[in-house]
Structure 1
Amino acid sequence: MPTTSTHEQAAARETSRVALVTCDRIPDLEDDDRLALAPLSERAVTAEPVVWDDPAVDWAAYDLVVLRSTWDYASRRDEFVAWAGRVAGLANPADVVVWNTDKRYLRELAAAGVPIIPTDWVEPGAAGWSGAWVDVILKPAIGAGSVDAGRYRLDDPVERQAFDAHLARLTGAGRTALVQPYLGAVETAGETALVFLQSPDGLRFSHAATKGALLAGPDEGVDGLYREETITPRTATAAELAVAERALSAIPGGVDRLLYARVDLIPADDGTPVLIELELTEPSLFLGTAGGAKERFADAVAAAVRAG
């Protein structure tokens, strides 16, 4: 008796159409996202790469619009969040995009008791920064891919001058800046990225990865949309998962509306994990680092389509 393949079974069902949203610098999606195309097809989901600011796109033609590598948004955030507000069926939702694309959300998480990396905020118009930390990271509150970020040793006069110039460049352009202490554990333990995906039981931990240290010195610009990262698989610890769950529980509106989330942590000087960033808009999900990850992502997308 002839058998029917999984692909043939999927083709026989009604196929859904999903946009995987990217930018014009990566029109065919980045490598990691392409790993999900075949699993999505097996679940009767036709996924297409679509550039977010392409005026010819009919967003209403898609059953679901999934934000992925929209990494050019930082210099055009107002335009980006306005676009997000016009798109029905956006994952993650537009109000989450507004909240999460400005790192000042860290203030809210800290107020909710989430352990975050110590942070000083320098607003436009400030005279500068004169805190006590000597080895620091400087980056913009609205940014992606570690662009416009640098590390400075402020006891070195040359680096102090470079720090002051970098800070003036950010705040002079009307951008809020973050100053944070450099945590040396990043050089040995790296950052832990914990990926959560929606499931029938709610938003659940899927897998983790290690990101190697990125910022070795003052900002000298980035040739592209992001700094290249070294990514390896990781086994999350109970302490890391506990901090991640605490951060997720503090998201305005709750996690049931989220298709995905990525929680980035680093060990503090005492070894306890602290939050660096909560990525809800366009994070790499590192689907190639763990068995079953791309299938779990495809399951989440297919379920979101069915839910309407």
Structure 2
Amino acid sequence: MPHVALVTAQAARATDEDLAPLESALRDSGAQVSIVDWDDAKIDWSQFDLTVLRSCWDYTARYVEFLIWAERISQQTRLVNRFEIVRWNTDKHYLAELQRAGIAIVPSQFVEPGSDVPAELRLFLDKHGDCAELVVKPVIGAGSMDTQRYTREDSDSAIAHIERLLKAGRSVLLQPYLDRVDEAGETALIHFDGEYSHSIRKGPMLRHREDATNGLYHAEQIDPREADVSERALAIRVLAALPFDDALAYARVDLIRATDGTPALLELELAEPSLFFRHAPGSAKRFAATLLKRIDKDALI
């Protein structure tokens, strides 16, 4: 009986809606399942045939510690997705790499510690003259934590936000607020083993002058949505552009509509995304089969 660890965080256990259906699907398929916290020092990770990152949503405040942990346990168990992918994807500088590979992304400007923040913001606003609002977010962040939306008239507040993040040693990402999201929302396309499984719609989360969330993540409005041809095509291109040869056990491609109506990559989630099983009947079972297939392949080597 294969033993699978589903890795979460103590603060996320009550809110991760994917844990229960995935645990059930794995048990129904003949696996032993343990739900464990990533920072539980008592865990012997070598007991698991597969260790699946699910909702380690507090990692952003303990990023170096989390990466050290992930690298260490990847030498004791099979980590999914693997450590190199997790390290690459948890730092949003990957967006620049994908843009260089020809992927349409939401326009992004990175501000690094030590920068002249007012000059960087002026450069951004001058470059995006048709942008009425912008979004400030940390490069290493999840769930819209420390992310806020500002108008041009709020420049002083935006500068203070950026400087606060930089002072903490965190790089910052500036993006124009693409207002088509207010009507269309985001489309998140979920793939298992490189194959499209299902998609959902996220309603707009950032409201003008709303304080950043103090929780692990910003509350989301989720509905089923069937991604259209252009969104599916972009998601395929995104996955093909990754600097990894292996098909990923799971990947979530989050898209929004650019000013001209075409889809653009907002974020790529390869480390600990919600997969929204309850909005897609059969998806938990498909993912369980994807995971167990990886164990079977290992047994044949």
* Alpha-carbon distance, 1:32 to partner: 2.2
Match of 1:20 in 2: 6
- SS at structure 1 position matched to 2:18: helix
Partner of 1:7: none
Q: Return the alpha-carbon distance in structure 2 between the equivalents of residues 219 and 28 of structure 1.
A: 25
Whether the 8 Å contact between 2:7 and 2:38 is mirrored in structure 1 is: yes
Corresponding residue of 1:287? 277
Q: 2 CA distance for matches of 1:242 and 1:63?
A: 34
Is 2:24 the counterpart of 1:38? yes
Letter in 1 for 2:282: G
Aligned to 2:173: 178
Which amino acid is 1:210 matched to? R
Residue 230 of structure 2 is aligned with which of 202, 220, 239? 239
Structure 1 residues 28, 44: CA separation in 2 closer, same or farther (over 3 Å shift)? farther
Write the deviation string for residues 205-248 of structure 1: whole angstroms up to 9, x where unpaired: 00000011011024623231000101100011110011111110
Contact 1:33 1:287 in 2 (8 A): no
Partner of 1:194: helix, strand, or coil? strand
Question: Any conservation in 2 of the 1:148–1:219 contact (CA below 8 Å)?
Answer: no
Aligned positions of 1:245-260 closer than 5 A = 245-256=236-247, 258-260=248-250
Letter of the structure 2 residue corresponding to residue 241 of structure 1:
R
1:28 CA displacement? 6.0
User: Does residue 1:151 correspond to 2:140, yes or no?
Assistant: no
Contact (CA 8 Å) 2:91, 2:139: kept in 1 or not?
yes
Structure 2 CA distance for aligned equivalents of residues 29 and 272 of structure 1: 33
Alignment of 1:259-270 (within 5 A): 259-270=249-260
1:137 aligned residue: 135
Cross-structure match for 2:95: 106
Instruction: State whether structure 2 residue 285 is matched by structure 1 residue 299.
Output: no
TM-score of the pair, normalised by structure 2: 0.92
In 2, Cα distance between equivalents of 1:26 and 1:283: 12
- The 8 Å contact of residues 248 and 255 in structure 1, kept in 2 or not, is answered as no
Structure 1 residue 305, shift from structure 2 partner = 1.9
In the alignment, the residues of structure 1 paired with residue 203 and residue 212 of structure 2 have an alpha-carbon distance, to the nearest angstrom, of: 19
In the alignment of these two chains, the number of paired residues is 286
Cα distance in 2 between the residues matched to 1:221 and 1:190: 19
Q: CA RMSD, aligned part only? A: 1.3
Matched, 1:95 2:81: no
Q: Say whether the 8 Å CA contact 2:148–2:212 is kept in structure 1.
A: no
Letter aligned with residue 93 of structure 2: R
Query: Which residue does 1:12 correspond to in 2?
Result: none
Q: What is aligned with 2:128?
A: none
Unaligned runs of 5+ in 2: 126-130
Between the aligned partners of 1:165 and 1:75, the Cα distance in structure 2 is 20
Aligned to 2:68: 82
Partner of 1:58: 44
Q: Is 2:64 aligned against 1:73? A: no
Percentage of pairs with the same residue: 44
Aligned to 1:188: 183
3-state DSSP of counterpart to 2:184: coil
Q: Quote the residue 1:220 is aligned against.
A: 211
Match of 1:164 in 2: 159
Q: Is the 8 A contact 1:32 1:286 kept in 2?
A: yes
What is the CA–CA distance in structure 2 between the aligned matches of 1:172 and 1:217, rounded to whole Å?
Answer: 24
- Quick one: distance in 2 between partners of 1:65 and 1:174? 30
Q: Residues 141 and 276 from structure 1, CA distance in 2 versus in 1: closer, same or farther, beyond 3 angstroms?
A: same
**CA distance in 2 between partners of 1:305 and 1:29 (Å):** 28
User: Which deviates more, 171-180 or 259-268?
Assistant: 171-180
Contact 1:144 1:226 in 2 (8 A): yes
Q: 2:12 touches 2:57 (CA, 8 Å); kept in 1? A: no
Could you tell me which runs of 5 or more consecutive residues in structure 1 were left unpaired when the two chains were aligned.
1-14
Cα distance in 2 for residues equivalent to 1:273 and 1:186: 11
- Structure 2 CA distance for aligned equivalents of residues 273 and 185 of structure 1: 11
Q: Which has the higher helix share?
A: 2
